[in-house]
Structure 1
Amino acid sequence: MSKQNKEILLEQERFELKSKSGGGLLRYEVWGAVEGGKTVVTRYNLAYINHAIYQGDNGRVLGFDNAHNYHHRHYMGEIEVVEFISYEAIQERFQQEWLEIVNQTRGIKP
């Protein structure tokens, strides 16, 4: 990345979920740069935190990030490498998986 394409914080959000929506917290942190008029994501950290479901790993039930120079998924303390196609694909997978977890814990099939 050249100096003129300085990395900036693109998104940093926290959503507290009501107990009827499964409870817990959704956290998004996304960094990137504009290259050739297009936004390019360089770093991301997506997490679903719910201490009622999982107490380890600071309550992180599910997470996706690319820290430590590789793309990976956290699920209740386990870490696995994930294939990176695009940030949008990772974000979609995260959305589907945390909704599935919430629905399962509430006894609802997705």
Structure 2
Amino acid sequence: MMAASKPRKAHSNKTLPKLRIHDPGATHIPHRLGGGIVKEYAEIELASGKLWRYSPVYINPAINSRDNGRVLGYDNAHGYPHRHLMGKITLEQTMSWPEVRDRFRREWREIAKQFVEGDW
């Protein structure tokens, strides 16, 4: 018995935009600074500067054991911008990549500092 073949997708003549990818890889945070891993990823359209996709994340299972250790993250998956904090999701306003990145960096550093100081 032969397996049914999948229908082929029609090829579009539409040209995909050229994107700048920001993906510096994972940064391992020393334990004395709070520990964990920080990852940043963004796709930005070169011509317009439009932010297509982004997902900065701070992972530290010592702070949060739920949500695969994700303490803080921002992304625009599912068609809307949102923030993850300790397993809770909140809607966010649309921001540029520098705004998302700067806010994320401020917040994860403050969380890590509070964790080291025993305030978290």
Task: Point out the structure with max Rg over C-alpha.
Answer: 2
TM-score > 0.5, shorter chain as reference: yes
Aligned residue for 1:9? 21
Mapped partners of 2:118, 2:65: distance in 1: 22
Question: Which segments of 5 or more consecutive residues in structure 1 lack a partner in the other structure?
Answer: none
Task: Note the C-alpha offset of 1:29.
Answer: 1.2
| Identical counterparts, % of pairs | 35
* Aligned mate of 1:100, from 102, 110, 113: 110
Change (3 A) 1:100 1:10: closer
Distance in 2 (alpha carbons) for counterparts of 1:25 and 1:85:
23
Question: Which residue in 2 is equivalent to 1:56?
Answer: 66
Greater strand percent: which structure? 1
3-state SS of the aligned residue for 1:13?
Answer: coil
Q: How many equivalent pairs are there? A: 106
TM-score (norm 1): 0.85
CA shift for structure 1 position 39: 4.0
Q: How far is the alpha carbon of 1:10 from its aligned partner?
A: 3.2
1:86 is matched with 96
Q: After TM superposition, where is structure 1 displaced by more than 4 Å over at least 4 residues in a row?
A: none
User: Pairwise CA RMSD of aligned residues?
Assistant: 2.0
- 28 and 62 in structure 1: CA distance in 2 versus 1, 3 angstrom threshold: same
